């Protein structure tokens, strides 16, 4: 584990105390581990008042978001459980651990699992508890559980509670302005490229761009089966499929009328181009960005399914799920699992769907209420948020995050004209493998 900058316990206590101000204290004694003592005693203890501490992990959730989406529902369903939320914006994970603060549940993506969970040895297999409470894993798309089993080497450390995947958002006003047909579901990448060519132009002294994205998202959720880091060798790699994905996206940034900057190539400029400047016609971005798009009166947006490769027709990008990890240090593991299970129920997923979150279960009741709490979803292509078939997740490697920033850097070099593709991919392997080797040495 990395060594972190030391802070005084007194100062840390003040930080955490300020962060947690207003959170209620749980009454009664803490509950022992599930299965201890007689069945009657276990049942009685299970209903004693307890507190479950949720940490934001990789989410950007505020206290208000947590209570709207999770906290109030948990209190209503489990009156004996008091949820407490700690935002990652207020206190960093290493600070909590240094202070000895117990965390019961944490929101983390698959690629964030090493940094937030494994490096701190916070993982615990909840498979037996899921069997004990007779939880049906078939409610999820198999890819969501297969990825978790890959992470846990056959076990399960967490349940998915919401997910995301790339979709094609577009500005209807720009397409109307230039008399170009809107993007549609079922397009190929070649058809999307043709639209991008038509939309990339200068008009009235303003430069417009047809398409923008972040290659990291596209590699992570690729519709084509790719393995950026081989989990059996811990080596970064490039092959024909990886080059195909690289080439597919780089061509959008090298259209004659498209002058890509480094910020555009790395995806850091595209959000402002689409949401604020309205100079970007199509934006391939994660589904949950729809929740924070401006009012339709400001940006006349809609969405289409992500275009597909010819050999992956009808296949949506792989899911990039947020898992709710039950930690090894939790004193209430069974209750934490029960709460996680509840949050994946139709009842709770409907509430998440109303806010525009992409849910982890496929259910007509969930689909019917999607985005209903936000007027901006009215009249939009809601069915695109519920693909029939999604790609399988790439084989999991705990060293993925050492490699994918290097790939983005090399992509930027290519689309800004600094390097050719073959040189960039060769350098990717060399530099990514050096970073992986360095990381492995720190773990010994």
Tell me the per-residue pLDDT of 162-186, one tens digit each, with 9 for 90 and over: 999 999 999 999 999 999 999 999 9
Q: What is the mean pLDDT of residues 176-197?
A: 98
What pLDDT is stored for residue 379 in this prediction?
93
**Given this model, what pLDDT does residue 242 score?**
97
Q: Which pLDDT belongs to residue 42? A: 52
> Going along 287-382, which residue ranges are E strands?
301-304, 322-326
How far is 149 from 324, CA to CA, in rounded Å?
A: 14
Residue of 339 and 362 predicted with greater confidence: 339
- The residue ranking higher by pLDDT, 292 or 385, is 385
Q: Which residue has 């060594």 as its token pair?
A: 3
Dist CA 343 CA 73 (whole Å): 9
Positions of CATH 3.40.190.10 in the chain: 9-163+321-379, 166-317+399-443
pLDDT at 23 (0 to 100): 39
**What percentage of the chain reaches a pLDDT higher than 70?**
90
Looking at the predicted structure, is the pLDDT value of residue 91 above 80? yes
Look at residue 32 in the predicted model and tell me its pLDDT. 35
For residues 250 and 403, give the distance between their C-alpha atoms in angstroms, rounded to a whole number: 18
Buried b (16+ CB within 10 A) or exposed e, 194-223: ebbbbbbbeeeeeebbbbbbbbbbbbbbbb
Whole-prediction pTM: 0.87
Sign (positive/negative) of CA torsion 19, 25, 29, 31? negative
Residue 362, pLDDT score: 85
CATH of 9-163+321-379, one of 3.40.190.10, 3.10.50.40, 3.40.605.10, 3.60.15.10: 3.40.190.10
CA distance 339 to 85: 14
Cα 407 → chain centroid: 19
Say what the pLDDT of residue 45 is.
Answer: 55
pLDDT value at 29 more than 50: no
| Spatial distance between the Cα atoms of 123 and 112, rounded to a whole number of angstroms | 13
Mapping DSSP to helix (H, G, I), strand (E, B) and coil, where does residue 360 land?
coil
At 444 the pLDDT is: 76
pLDDT at 251: 97
Residue 38 confidence (pLDDT) above 70: no
10 Å CB burial of residue 253 (0-12, 13-18, 19+) is buried
- pLDDT tens for 266-308 read 999 999 999 999 999 999 999 999 998 999 999 999 999 999 9
pLDDT of residue 443: 87
Q: Where are the alpha helices (DSSP H) in 266-399?
A: 270-272, 333-343, 346-354, 364-368
pLDDT band at 90 (very low <50, low <70, confident <90, very high): confident
Residue of 42 and 172 predicted with greater confidence = 172
Confidence class for position 18, pLDDT limits 50, 70, 90 = very low
Q: How confident is the model at residue 43 (pLDDT cuts 50, 70, 90)?
A: low
H runs (alpha helix) in 344-395 = 346-354, 364-368
Q: Which of 22-31, 89-98, 280-289 has the lowest mean pLDDT?
A: 22-31
> Could you tell me the pLDDT band of residue 11, with boundaries at 50, 70 and 90?
very low
CA distance 186 to 307: 6
| Residues 107-138 pLDDT 10s | 999 999 999 999 999 999 999 999 999 999 99
Architecture of 166-317+399-443 per CATH?
3-Layer(aba) Sandwich (3.40)
Q: What is the pLDDT of residues 410-423, one digit of tens each?
A: 999 999 999 999 99
pLDDT, tens only, 51-66: 999 999 998 889 999 9
Tokens representing residue 206 in the block: 């303003």
Terminal-residue alpha carbon distance, the chain? 9
309-333 mean pLDDT: 96
Question: What is the H or E stretch that residue 398 is in?
Answer: none
């Amino acid at each position: 584990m990395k060594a972190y900058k030391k802070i005084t316990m007194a100062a840390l206590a003040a930080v955490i105390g300020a962060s947690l101000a207003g959170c209620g204290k749980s009454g009664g004694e803490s509950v022992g581990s599930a299965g201890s003592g007689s069945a009657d005693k276990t049942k009685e203890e299970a209903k004693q008042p307890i507190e479950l501490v949720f940490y934001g992990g990789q989410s950007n959730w505020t206290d208000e978001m947590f209570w709207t989406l999770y906290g109030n529902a948990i209190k209503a369903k489990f009156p004996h459980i008091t949820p407490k939320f700690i935002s990652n914006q207020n206190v960093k994970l290493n600070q909590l651990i240094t202070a000895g603060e117990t965390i019961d549940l944490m929101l983390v993506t698959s690629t964030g699992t090493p940094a937030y969970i494994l490096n701190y040895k916070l993982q615990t297999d909840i498979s037996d508890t899921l069997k004990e409470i007779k939880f049906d894993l078939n409610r999820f798309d198999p890819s969501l559980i297969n990825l978790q089993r890959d992470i846990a080497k056959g076990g399960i450390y967490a349940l998915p509670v919401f997910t995301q995947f790339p979709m094609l958002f577009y500005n209807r006003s720009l397409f109307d302005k230039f008399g170009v047909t809107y993007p549609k579901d079922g397009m190929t990448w070649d058809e999307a490229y043709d639209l991008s060519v038509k939309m990339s132009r200068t008009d009235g002294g303003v430069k417009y761009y047809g398409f923008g994205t972040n290659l990291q998202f596209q590699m992570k959720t690729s519709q084509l089966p790719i393995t950026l880091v081989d989990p059996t060798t811990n080596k970064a790699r490039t092959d024909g499929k990886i080059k195909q994905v690289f080439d597919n996206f780089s061509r959008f940034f090298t259209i004659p009328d498209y002058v890509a900057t480094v910020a555009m190539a790395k995806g850091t400029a595209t959000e402002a181009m689409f949401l604020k400047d309205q100079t970007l016609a199509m934006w391939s971005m994660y589904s949950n960005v729809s929740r924070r798009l401006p009012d339709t009166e400001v940006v006349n947006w809609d969405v289409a399914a992500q275009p597909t490769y010819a050999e992956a027709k009808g296949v949506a990008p792989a899911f990039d799920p947020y898992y709710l990890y039950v930690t090894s240090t939790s004193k209430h593991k069974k209750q934490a699992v029960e709460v996680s299970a509840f949050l994946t129920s139709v009842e709770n997923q409907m509430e998440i769907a109303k806010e525009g979150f992409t849910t982890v279960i496929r259910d007509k009741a969930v689909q019917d209420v999607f985005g209903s709490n936000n007027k901006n979803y009215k009249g939009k292509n809601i069915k695109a948020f519920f693909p029939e078939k999604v790609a399988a997740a790439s084989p999991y490697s705990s060293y993925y995050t050492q490699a994918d920033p290097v790939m983005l850097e090399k992509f930027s070099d290519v689309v800004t004209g600094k390097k050719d593709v073959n040189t960039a991919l060769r350098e990717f392997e060399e530099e990514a493998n050096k970073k992986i080797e360095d990381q492995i040495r720190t773990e010994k």
